[in-house]
Amino acid sequence: MKANPNDQLLLLDVADIDRRLAQAEATRKNPPQAARVQELIARRTGLGGELAARAGARDDLALELKRVEADVEVVTARRARDADRLNSATDQKIAQSLESEIASLDRRRSDLETTELELMEKIEAAEAAVAEQQQLMAEVTSEGQRLSVEAKELVASSTALIDTLTRDRAAVVGRIPSDLMDLYERLRSRGQGTALFTRGTCGACNVMLSPNDVQKLRDAADDDVALCPECGGIMVRTNESGLARGSGVPRFTESD
């Protein structure tokens, strides 16, 4: 295929726009924050389960404390009744029985009060564990919200960039002959496209051509559309390509 060298140069602009479009589209579909946000969602779910377990353990202790406190009230009330009866008792056996029961109630109340203190200490520790878990969840939630905002902003900016690049591409494509553009599109659909040929290397696949292939390029006319023998992509030749003949004068430049 033949194509004006300047039209071939325009393909580099199209290829650059296509590269940037691909990057912007990838960012729009999958912003870099997305993976971390998913990690944080999973992390928060795990923390939530642990928080529920800790809160449940704390609530169980609180219920147990209420039960013990109720038992203390019962024992205290019963002891008060026995003490009143003892004060008015005239029968020695009844008095001895009441004294024995009061002593037993005192021991029972002492045990219950000890249990109360132990439960209070456990509840205090459980409250601290719940607060610790809540703090962790708050930190995870805060980071997730911040990253979500950043991701939305990045998606919006990527969408705007895609719109701008799409307009730029249409403007450049409008200056390129349709047959050359069709060739580029076919090659790009296969992952080849076009790139600058420079210092004996195809920019599309980064493979250095053999001396024979370089000589073929040197002998080719400026308006020949050269395809890479390795990847099949269009190799655009400029004064950077190192293909000058004899005197070292470039075969053509971007201003030709």
Instruction: Report the pLDDT value the prediction gives residue 244, as an integer from 0 to 100.
Output: 61
Candidates 223, 210, 185, 249; CA nearest to 237 is: 223
164: alpha, beta or left, given left = phi > 0 and alpha = psi -120 to 50? alpha
Answer whether residue 149 is part of any domain: yes
pLDDT band at residue 239, thresholds of 50, 70 and 90?
A: confident
* Structural domain includes residue 216: no
Q: Residue 68 domain-assigned?
A: yes
Residue 255 has pLDDT above 80, yes or no: no
- Which amino acid belongs to residue 34? A
21 near 169, Cβ under 8 Å?
yes
Q: Model confidence at 149, in pLDDT bands (50, 70, 90)? A: very high
**Orientation angle between helical segments 92-173 and 33-88, nearest 10 degrees:** 170
| Residues 77, 36: Cα–Cα separation, whole Å | 60
Q: Is residue 4 part of a domain?
A: no
pLDDT in tens, 31-44: 999 999 999 999 99
Find the CATH number of the domain harbouring 140. 1.10.287.1490
**Cα separation, 27 vs 158, whole angstroms:** 7
The answer to whether residues 102 and 82 touch, using CB atoms and an 8 Å cutoff, is yes
Average pLDDT over residues 137-142: 96
Rounded Cα distance, 28 and 157, in Å? 8
Domain that holds residue 114: 28-160
The CA-based diameter of the chain, rounded to the nearest angstrom, is: 138
Structural domain contains residue 105 = yes
Rounded to an integer, what distance in angstroms lies between the CA atom of residue 144 and that of residue 33? 9
Mean per-residue pLDDT over the chain, rounded: 91
Q: What domain count does the chain have?
A: 1
Write out the E strands in the chain: 194-198, 201-202, 207-208, 226-227, 234-237
Tokens of 61: 């202790």
In a domain, 255, yes or no: no
The stretch 228-250 carries a mean pLDDT of 72
Is residue 15 domain-resident? Answer: no
| Cβ neighbours of residue 4 closer than 8 Å, sequence gap 6 or more | 177, 223
